[in-house]
Amino acid sequence: MTTEEATTARARPEPIKAVPVRHPGRWIAVAVLAVLTAMFVHLLVTNKAFNWSFMVDKMFRPPIIEGLLRGTVLMTVSAMLIGVTLGVVIAVMRLSDNPILRGVAWLYTWFFRAVPRLVLLAVFGNIGILWSRVEFGVPFDTQLGQLFGIDNLQLRLFGFSSRDILTGFMAGLLGLALSEAAYMAEIVRAGIQSVDPGQTEAAQALGLSRGQLLRRVVLPQAMRVIIPPTGNETIAMLKDTSLLLYVPVSVELFFQLDAVGKRTFQIFPMYVAACLWYLFLTSILLVGQYFLERHFGKGYGTSGRARMRLRGMTAEAGGSAGVVK
Partner 1 sequence: MPTQATAPTAGSDLMVRAEQVHKSFGPLEVLKGIDLEVRAGEVCCLLGPSGSGKSTFLRCINHLEKIDAGRIWVDGDLIGYRERGGKLHEMRDREVAAQRRAIGMVFQRFNLFPHMTVLGNVTEAPLLLRQEKKAQARERAAELLERVGLGDKLGAYPGQLSGGQQQRVAIARALAMRPKLMLFDEPTSALDPELVGEVLDTMKDLARDGMTMIVVTHEIGFAREVGDHLVFMDGGVVVEQGDPREVIAAPKHERTQAFLAKVL
Binding site for partner 1 (CB under 8 A): 196, 198-199, 201-210, 212, 216-217, 220-221, 298-300, 304-305, 307-308, 311, 322-325
Distance of closest approach, residue 303 Cβ to partner 1, in angstroms: 10
CB 203 within 8 A of CB 102: no
Return the number of the residue (70 or 311) whose C-beta is nearest partner 1. Answer: 311
CB 194 within 8 A of CB 124: no
DSSP 252-286: SHHHHHHHHHHHHT-HHHHHHHHHHHHHHHHHHHH
Q: How far apart are CA 190 and CA 225, in angstroms?
A: 8
Return the number of the residue (13 or 198) whose C-beta is nearest partner 1. Answer: 198
Q: How far apart are CA 75 and CA 239, in angstroms?
A: 11
Distance of closest approach, residue 301 Cβ to partner 1, in angstroms: 8
Q: How far apart are CA 130 and CA 126, in angstroms?
A: 8
Distance of closest approach, residue 228 Cβ to partner 1, in angstroms: 16
Return the number of the residue (162 or 199) whose C-beta is nearest partner 1. Answer: 199
Question: Any idea what the Cα angle at residue 205 is, between residues 202 and 209, rounded to 5°?
Answer: 95
Return the number of the residue (6 or 324) whose C-beta is nearest partner 1. Answer: 324
Return the number of the residue (200 or 289) whose C-beta is nearest partner 1. Answer: 200
Closest CA to 296 of 195, 186, 183: 195
Distance of closest approach, residue 187 Cβ to partner 1, in angstroms: 19
- 40 sits in the region (left: phi over 0; alpha: psi -120 to 50; else beta) called alpha
Distance of closest approach, residue 96 Cβ to partner 1, in angstroms: 12
Distance of closest approach, residue 170 Cβ to partner 1, in angstroms: 38
Return the number of the residue (168 or 191) whose C-beta is nearest partner 1. Answer: 191
Sign (positive/negative) of CA torsion 205, 207, 213, 216?
negative
